[in-house]
């Protein structure tokens, strides 16, 4: 959500962010604080708060790249969003270069009880679901 806000309402700053990340060979998440003084997780969480979304949703949006900073009661949901985000990048659903891709050694996998050996299956299942959704939307 935060990246959508940046790209649509703060285009100049977003393009600067993309430029710095590209020049330095880093993910957007790694340069946001230095370039903008804020990161897209916080921007998205603030929007979620304004929309009166539940605290667990706001926390998951805020912490999806900073899972170590999440309160225990919001941790599971945040880890799910963190891995869903990585899965979207891995499958090509979203290529916003916001953070590193899906890693077999991501601690979130173990914490959620997902064996790294299952990742290829999860990735393929996500690709199948994207094709189904794309086909369904094309018929609307």
**DSSP state, residue 74:** G
pLDDT at 26 over 70: yes
Neighbours of 26 (CB within 10 A): 15
Q: How confident is the model at residue 123 (pLDDT cuts 50, 70, 90)?
A: confident
Tokens at residue 13, please? 């700053």
pLDDT per position as a tens digit, 29-81: 889 998 899 999 999 999 999 999 999 999 999 999 889 999 999 999 999 99
pLDDT per position as a tens digit, 74-117: 999 999 999 988 888 877 777 666 666 778 888 899 999 999 99
**DSSP state, residue 73:** G
Under CATH, which number does the domain 2-138 receive?
Answer: 1.10.3210.10
Neighbours of 66 (CB within 10 A): 14
pTM, full prediction: 0.83
pLDDT of residue 97: 66
pLDDT, greater one: 92 or 24? 24
Spans of all domains in the chain: 2-138
């Amino acid at each position: 959500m935060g990246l959508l806000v940046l790209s649509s309402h703060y285009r100049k700053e977003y393009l600067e962010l993309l430029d710095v990340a590209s020049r330095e060979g880093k993910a957007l998440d790694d340069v946001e604080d230095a370039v903008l003084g804020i990161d897209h997780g916080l921007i998205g969480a603030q929007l979620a708060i304004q929309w009166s979304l539940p605290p667990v949703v706001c926390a998951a949006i805020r912490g999806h790249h900073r899972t170590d900073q999440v309160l225990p009661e919001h941790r599971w949901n945040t880890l799910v969003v963190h891995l869903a985000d990585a899965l979207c990048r891995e499958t090509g659903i979203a290529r916003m270069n916001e953070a590193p891709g899906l890693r077999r050694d991501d601690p979130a996998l173990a914490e959620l009880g997902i064996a790294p050996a299952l990742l290829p299956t999860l990735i393929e299942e996500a690709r199948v679901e994207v094709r189904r959704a794309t086909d369904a939307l094309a018929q609307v």
